[in-house]
Structure 1
Amino acid sequence: MNPPEAARSYYAAIDEDRYDDLADLLAAEFVHQRPDRTFEGRETFVAFMRDDRPRTDTTHELDGVYVAENENDPTRGGEVAVRGRLLDADDDRLFAFVDVHTVEIGSVVRIRTYTD
């Protein structure tokens, strides 16, 4: 899976509550840095998304995917910046975001989130 596909699959897995697919997509050493907290480890992050996140009735509306692939071998990995909005169940905007995904050999290793 190339980096843009991995990034899009990440949001689809969360929005569709496919936590096994989410776990399969993330590297064991996955780290997600957000403005409010940092998650370290695939199991910690998946457990939070499945059991503890405050809102589960949300969807990610993606406005743009920007690729900076590994110049030596773009099939092995790279970085992807995703610009979008998190929407509630009524399609009202909760906040805008930019996520920078680091992908290595088809697995998401790190995400750094920036919000407005």
Structure 2
Amino acid sequence: MSGERRADGENVVRAYYESLDEGAYDRLEEHLTAAFVHERPEMTLSGRQEFVRFMRDERPRTDTSHPIETIYRAGEETELAAKGRLVADGETITGFVDLFTLADGRIDRIETYTD
């Protein structure tokens, strides 16, 4: 996390979306555990490297942003949910809720639910 460890779960979640939206894939990788898993409606990506490779090289659109409306917390900063929208060219593609599980200050798992 670029020299500083983010202890607050909400900051980690926000940094994840910022890295993704900016195409900062090295920084994105820093926010994930090695065993990271992302469950999406259409697929599951297992492992930090597979996820970052997919986001960098294979996702259908890279010109998107993820405005976050609300971040909900549960437990001791290890379980969070982010409600937001996937936007391209000023238009909402879909709404989503991402459920985050953190371990040692990094994202270990995301479960994505879309409209």
TM-score of the superposition, structure 1-length normalised?
0.91
Q: Are 1:92 and 2:91 counterparts?
A: yes
Instruction: Find the aligned partners of 2:93 and 2:75 in 1 and give their Cα distance.
Output: 30
The residue type paired with residue 32 of structure 1 is H
Q: Are 1:7 and 2:13 counterparts?
A: yes
Instruction: Find the aligned partners of 1:107 and 1:48 in 2 and give their Cα distance.
Output: 19
Instruction: Find the aligned partners of 1:7 and 1:65 in 2 and give their Cα distance.
Output: 8
Identity %: 46
- What is the Cα-based RMSD across aligned positions, in Å? 0.8
Unaligned runs of 5+ in 2: 1-5
The residue type paired with residue 85 of structure 1 is R
Unaligned runs of 5+ in 1: 71-76
TM-score of the superposition, structure 2-length normalised?
0.92
Spell out, residue by residue over 1:29-72, the C-alpha distance to the aligned partner (whole angstroms, 9 max, x if none): 000000000000000000000111110110001010001132xx
The residue type paired with residue 78 of structure 2 is G
1:3-82 aligned at under 5 Å gives the runs 3-70=9-76, 77-82=77-82
Instruction: Find the aligned partners of 2:100 and 2:15 in 1 and give their Cα distance.
Output: 12
Moved over 4 A (4+): none
In the TM superposition, what is the alpha-carbon distance from 1:3 to its structure 2 partner?
A: 1.1
Q: Which SS does the other structure have where 2:19 is aligned?
A: helix
CA contact (8 A) 1:3 1:69 kept: no
Instruction: Find the aligned partners of 1:28 and 1:104 in 2 and give their Cα distance.
Output: 11
CA contact (8 A) 1:32 1:111 kept: yes
The residue type paired with residue 63 of structure 2 is D
